[in-house]
Amino acid sequence: MSMAKFRKVKNNRKNSPTRGMIYGRAVVNRVVHTSAIAKKITERCTVTEPDILAVINALMTEISANIAEGNKVVLDEFGSFKLGIRTSPAVNAKKFTSANIKNMYVIYSPYSVMDQGKRVKPMLSGIKMEEMTEYNGIEDEENGGGTTGGGTSGETSGGTSGGTSGDNTQTGGSGNTEGGGSNTDQTGGEGQGSESGGDGNMG
């Protein structure tokens, strides 16, 4: 059974309706790169590491090419990828052009299934959480600061819904919009409401 860790964070952001309340943040233990994944796969099958890397690289190329064509890519029992955009508003439809598109990002939606009337994500099944012990109690978060991963990953979290991580990759399909962008579609038909690098639950 997999064991992940969390840390406690106090919301000290000014003007927040939940200021002073305690939240939990998942801890990023380490970053695992493609080469390490390929090496682990060789322990589970007879395929060589160079062949595995070649397939992974080809898969990434195909996913990128399909996203660029406006296609939604579904990897069975893993999830889906599609293009999302953020735009600036226009006063009417005639004045809205491609120049209003300010940013593009990739929406990843994890695979989910119905189980006893509830929608679950097999990728998360069997994961148990325990508190991280190598930090000094509650960490303050003020003005949208703080770090994910217990300060080990270098990623910053603004704690906002509908945002993106540093690489403009957004997970989930929350139905949130920002500047006219929409991300309501996802594998399994379930809204996520989460994003990469932050839990988005601090008001």
Do the domain assignments include residue 202?
Answer: no
Q: What is the pLDDT of residue 146?
A: 42
> H or E stretch including 166?
none
Confidence of residue 176 (pLDDT cuts 50, 70, 90): very low
User: Looking at the domain assignment, is residue 74 inside a domain?
Assistant: yes
Q: How far is Cα 113 from Cα 146, in angstroms, rounded to an integer?
A: 34
> Residue 138 has what pLDDT?
59
Give the pLDDT of residue 140.
57
CATH for 83: 4.10.520.10
The answer to whether residue 67 sits within a structural domain is yes
**Confidence class for position 81, pLDDT limits 50, 70, 90:** very high
- Could you tell me the two tokens for 180? 């006219």
Which pLDDT score, from 0 to 100, does residue 28 have? 87
**Count of structural domains within the chain:** 1
Q: Note the pLDDT tens digit of each residue in 108-148.
A: 999 998 888 888 888 888 889 999 877 655 565 554 444 43
Kindly tell me if the per-residue pLDDT of 63 is higher than 90. yes
User: What pLDDT, in 10s, does the model give residues 22-45?
Assistant: 999 999 888 999 999 999 999 999
Stronger pLDDT, 80 or 196, i.e. the higher one: 80
Give a yes or no: residue 200 inside a domain. no
The pLDDT confidence band at residue 160, using thresholds 50, 70 and 90, is very low
pLDDT the model gives residue 203: 56
Q: Which domain holds residue 20?
A: 3-189
Alpha-carbon torsion (183, 187, 189, 194), positive or negative = negative
Burial class (CB in 10 A: 0-12, 13-18, 19+), 196: buried
Residue 175 lies in a domain: yes
pTM for the whole structure: 0.62
Q: Inform me whether the pLDDT recorded for 55 exceeds 90.
A: yes
Among residues 20, 25, 190, which one has the least CA distance to residue 110?
A: 190
Beta bridge partners of 105: 84
**How far, rounded to the nearest angstrom, does the alpha carbon of residue 38 sit from its chain's CA centroid?**
22
Choose between 38 and 193: higher pLDDT.
38
Return mean pLDDT, the chain. Answer: 76
Residue (of 98, 71, 94, 66) closest to 85 by Cα position: 98
- Can you tell me the distance from the alpha carbon of 63 to that of 175, in angstroms, rounded to the nearest whole number? 23
Whether 197 shows a pLDDT value over 90: the answer reads: no
The confidence score (pLDDT) of residue 3 equals 86
Asked if the structure places residue 199 within a domain, the reply is: no
